[in-house]
Structure 1
Amino acid sequence: MNKIGPSLMCADLGHLAENIKEMDEAGVDFYHLDVMDGLFVPNFTLGPDFIRTVRKLTDKPLDTHLMIKQPERFIDLFADCGSDMISIHAEATDNLQGALARIKNAGLKAGVAINPATPLDVLDYVYDVTDYVVVMTVNPGFAGQKFIPAVYDKIARLHEIIIRNKFNIEIEVDGNIGASTIPTCKENGATMYVCGTSAVFKKEGTLRENVERTRNLLDAHATVNAAPSEKRKSAGIYG
Structure 2
Amino acid sequence: MKKVEFSPSLMTMDLNKFKEQITFLNDHADSFHVDIMDGHYVPNITLSPWFIQEVRKISTLPVSAHLMVTDPAPWVEKLIDINCEWICMHVEVLDGLAFRLIDQIHDAGLKAGVVLNPETPIDTIFPYIDIVDKVTIMTVDPGFAGQRFIEGALDKIVQLRELREKMNYNYVIEMDGSSNRKSFKRIDAAGPDVYIIGRSGLFGLAEDIEKSWEIMNRDYQEATGKVLV
Q: CA 1:214 to 1:126, structure 2 compared with 1: closer, same or farther past 3 Å? A: farther
Structure 2 distance, partners of 1:203, 1:213, is 7
Unmatched tracts of structure 1, length 5 or more: 224-239
Correspondence 1:180-191 to 2 at 5 A? 180-191=182-193
Say which is worse superposed, 197-206 or 54-63, in terms of deviation.
Answer: 197-206
1:38 paired residue number: 39
Instruction: Give the conservation status (yes or no) of the 8 Å contact 1:183–1:217.
Output: no
Instruction: Give the conservation status (yes or no) of the 8 Å contact 1:174–1:195.
Output: yes
2:196 paired residue number: 194
1:230 paired residue number: none
Structure 2 distance, partners of 1:53, 1:97, is 30
Instruction: Give the conservation status (yes or no) of the 8 Å contact 1:199–1:211.
Output: no
Instruction: Give the conservation status (yes or no) of the 8 Å contact 2:205–2:212.
Output: no
Offset of residue 204 of structure 1: 3.1
Correspondence 1:208-219 to 2 at 5 A? 208-218=210-220
Offset of residue 14 of structure 1: 2.2
Instruction: Give the conservation status (yes or no) of the 8 Å contact 2:181–2:220.
Output: no
Instruction: Give the conservation status (yes or no) of the 8 Å contact 1:51–1:82.
Output: no
Q: CA 1:15 to 1:205, structure 2 compared with 1: closer, same or farther past 3 Å? A: closer
Is 1:132 aligned with 2:99?
A: no
Q: 1:143 pairs with 136, 142, 145, which one?
A: 145
Structure 2 distance, partners of 1:130, 1:151, is 20
Instruction: Give the conservation status (yes or no) of the 8 Å contact 2:83–2:110.
Output: no
Q: Match of 1:144, SS? A: coil
Q: Percent identity?
A: 35
Offset of residue 81 of structure 1: 2.2
TM-score by length of 2: 0.90
TM-score by length of 1: 0.87
- Kindly provide the CA deviation profile for residues 2-40 of structure 1, in whole angstroms up to 9, marking residues without a partner as x: 111111111111221111012223x11000000000111
Q: Match of 1:124, SS? A: helix
Q: CA 1:104 to 1:218, structure 2 compared with 1: closer, same or farther past 3 Å? A: farther
Instruction: Give the conservation status (yes or no) of the 8 Å contact 1:132–1:170.
Output: yes
Offset of residue 199 of structure 1: 1.2
Which residue type is aligned with residue 207 of structure 1? I
Offset of residue 104 of structure 1: 1.5
Instruction: Give the conservation status (yes or no) of the 8 Å contact 2:133–2:172.
Output: yes
Structure 1 distance, partners of 2:16, 2:207, is 19
2:93 paired residue number: 92
Instruction: Give the conservation status (yes or no) of the 8 Å contact 1:28–1:211.
Output: no
Structure 2 distance, partners of 1:116, 1:186, is 18
Q: Match of 2:203, SS? A: coil
2:66 paired residue number: 65
1:120 paired residue number: 122
Q: Match of 1:135, SS? A: strand
Computed over aligned residues only, the root mean square deviation of the Cα atoms, in angstroms, reads 1.8
Structure 1 distance, partners of 2:6, 2:108, is 25
Structure 1 distance, partners of 2:62, 2:218, is 22
Which residue type is aligned with residue 48 of structure 1? P
Structure 2 distance, partners of 1:61, 1:215, is 21
Offset of residue 122 of structure 1: 1.0
